[in-house]
Structure 1
Amino acid sequence: MANTKITDGSMALNDRQVRVITIEATRQPEEIKLRVAAYARVSSSSEDQLNSFAAQNQYYTELISGNNNWHMVDIYADEGITGTSALIRADFQRMLADCRRGKIDRILVKSLSRFARNTKECLESIRELKGLGVSVYFEKESIDTAKMTGEMLTAIYASFAQSESESISGNMRWSYQKRMQSGQFITCKAPFGYRLENGTLKIEDSEAVVVQMIYDEFLSGKNTMEIADLLTESGIPTQTGKPCWQATAVGYILQNEKYIGDARLQKKYSTETFPVQRKINYGERQQYYVTATHPAIIDRAIYEKVQALYQTRAAEIRNKPKHHFNFTKKIVCADCGTYFQRKISGTNPYWVCRKHSKNSKDCAMMPIPETEIEQAFIRLYCNLKWQGKSILQQMIQNLQTIRNRRMLWSEDVIELNKQISDLSSQNQMLTMLKKQGLIDPDIFIAQTNELTEQLREVKLKKERLMDAEGDNTISQTKELLDILESGPDFLESFSAELFGELIESVIVDSNEKLRFRLKNGLELPEEIERTVR
């Protein structure tokens, strides 16, 4: 202990004199080597690519072994793997697992495009690795995630890697387009009545009979809903094995040209940007019609009759005058959540749950005469006019109190404030990178615009949150008070105008009680008084 430096000191603690001796360290710990790994990937198994792959392995082995401060853990490599997701790369996942086990301190990668194919995946992996204390160095872009500005630059350059994948996806779309133009591409999925075998549609006899029945029933006068109900009642399963048929599925079969042996291509298309989405082609893309591509189930003459009848019925529905009644889409069944519809019995209108009207076993809610609903509203209005103002005024005071508390203590608002602060900090960091010349001006503008838009959205979200819990309901309640103040003292008959201004919806709890939901969300019950006939 001859080389140990001792410092003597003392202090008072609880009326006792405590002596403290500090023994300073004289030996420094041995320098710990950094555990370094490398990740390499090529896009195909062609001979040239494999040579490049072998060269990457040799390069990283020599690089890591040649650094006295580094200890090589492993060379992780995926051969012949392509795509936009890291989930299918076995060695990439093995590398992440070793990082989670604490075996790696640093990872070397040739470029971002070798590490990830989209920005989201890249940042998720890097953030996890940073949380594990593992840094990643991208040689081509000179990005080191161990540095403070690393993640920001990663987001910028990862967008280029994503562009590479978008280019690959564009090549795939081009390939499909050319095959469609030549008539070689027919379909990726067989419709009901067919099976797909080696890229060719083959008739499935058991389903083909059902398709023919659908066409016959439609020509006999049934509509799509009636045919769907018939199929369900007959116990015929859908293509996915479900017992219930929908009218839309029947309509699709009736209008599908594949049942006459033809194929209209590119009914749907894939978007050109990530994430890729499938959308219905309403004319945004070219379509191709190819005849006699596979065996037909329906005779062409029958198919054309069905198309003509389908168009005639659709035109009749479009041209049919639409009557809007005071309670249309206003009355809701409390039991099943279905809207009520208006019907006439003799000369007396009444409102009935749509599900009950279709099948009384599905919903037990009984019909209600229209006059009884109108009389219930008249009574509700009078109660609000003479007794409800104090309730609404108290509601406004309570909402204002709640809003003030939310502004100070709400976790949602605090989180949004944090997001606003973080986005502002990122914007400042981006400006600093621009001043240091570390970022291209075009990329700087694009990233600044994106951050500005995100900041605007978060601020709007905060504003909407505050309005949803306070100001919006308060203003609606004030409007209700104004309507009641200016309204008549009594209603001698039903007023459609006042009903529309005051009421959001009417919930039918039973045949004896309604709930009127006001425009501000407040619900008030009202008994139904049966009219003596």
Structure 2
Amino acid sequence: MARITKIEATKDFIGKKKTRVAAYARVSTRSDEQLLSLETQKEHYDNFISANSEWEYAGLYYDEGVSGTKVEKRDGLLALLKDCEDGKIDRVITKSISRFSRNTAECLEMVRSLARLNIYLYFEKENIDTEHMSSELMLSILSSIAESESRSISQNSKWSIKHRFEEGTFIISYPPYGYDNQDGKMVIVPEEAAVVRDIFDMTINGMGTYVIAKALNDRGLQSKKGAKWHPSTVRGILQNEKYTGDVIFQKTYTDDNFNRHNNYGEKNMYLCKNHHEPIISHEIFNKAAAVIEQRAKEKSIEAGIGKYQRLYAFSGKIICGECGATFKRRQHYKPSGDYVAWCCNTHITDKDACSMMYILDEDIKTAFLRMIRKQQTAHTQVLKPFVAGLKGTNNKERLHQVLALEEQIEKNAEQITVLTNLMSSGYIEPEIFHAEKNQLTLEADRLTREKQLISKSINGDLAHLDEAQKLLQFVSKKAEITEFEDEMFLEYVDTMTVHTRDEITFNLKCGLNLTERLVGA
């Protein structure tokens, strides 16, 4: 008779499926801060979720700094809800109720909709887990408080700011380029002030914002945020009345639905003359404004409708390696056949000032196709090691420093809110309020500067890594590219530098500079 041995079931042997946990956040709208904000929050949630052996990181969903009161404008939140419905997520974590939604009805509706899918939310700040039904009452109370606080804070802040506008005591905590904040006062930074004066002088002498920005970049100067100069940066300086020593308060305002608007007369504006030491005179400021207005008329640019559209993919992208000017597109008509060429702007106006001759539009396209096909063929030898090198940059310590500073900045903002509420309720005297508020504002400014200093050191690598990964994914999966496309060129190329009529370098957005011969196929 056969002998049977019973083998007991081992529960531990059966692999338990991990809970897929996604995180939701809101990040800055500014492109220079967005990558850093994403990295710090990814680092936080990656550590938080990894600490639980039963959880699996399902990604970070985010929205740019939009109001928490409007779900329909939050594409990241809508994508999160869609993936929850599609069964890709089992649980959601977010920092606080106010980050998720400040609208009570919408907040509860989303929570209940997810609960019907057996998906629950955890709010870190309030320590609320919607898996426990007893939390719903608390969630309802707290989200109601968040909604009312949103309006209360807004009204109190408006009252406080309006009062300081009228008194001329409003502190500009983040003054424009050329100034620094010292003890609540705008003080001139001599080196930067000299650059501001140069910008106005160059404008009055007929130079455009693009040429001015390029000249400043060639001098190795950095803007207020430590980045390159752009035409919009220069334009912002030329239109800023603060350089005359005057300040116009409330040039923008927020309505009751938390929408931000430019103030075209809907609200009072407050002109404070001689608010601080001027860098330029009113005469120079007005003269520069007249030059800008005249240039706009000549180019048929109307205020309020934006600049004219870029007509061609290469417009503003081709830089002369000899003089640094941009190239201009020219159509040539010949009996042997019409063709398009690009010529250095300096050479067009003065052949003795720059000897660079024209290059053919078709030759540039051919050179680009040759360059991109090389990356397709050799991406494992060029792009993969490049991406690996960028990934190898250890930013963890600096990211943790940024996270710590962000916490301090948030606490500082909460202290200011409490102080404003006490003042509006009459619990503290105006003198004490202003003294304490000034101290907190200065501390916020110090923390912000320290954060920006660290951020600058890692933003470049993060941006290059993001662009390099996009290019690697494109060339490794795309079939052989045979035709030039404007969209493809604009996606991956920052600028091109023409060294001779036979040689051009493509300066890619990922940081690589690749040189090709300018010869026909």
TM range (shorter): 0.3 to 0.5
- With the length of structure 1 as denominator, give the TM-score of the two structures: 0.37
- With the length of structure 2 as denominator, give the TM-score of the two structures: 0.38
- Higher RCO, 1 or 2 (CA under 8 Å, sep at least 6)? 2
Select the structure of larger CA radius of gyration: 1
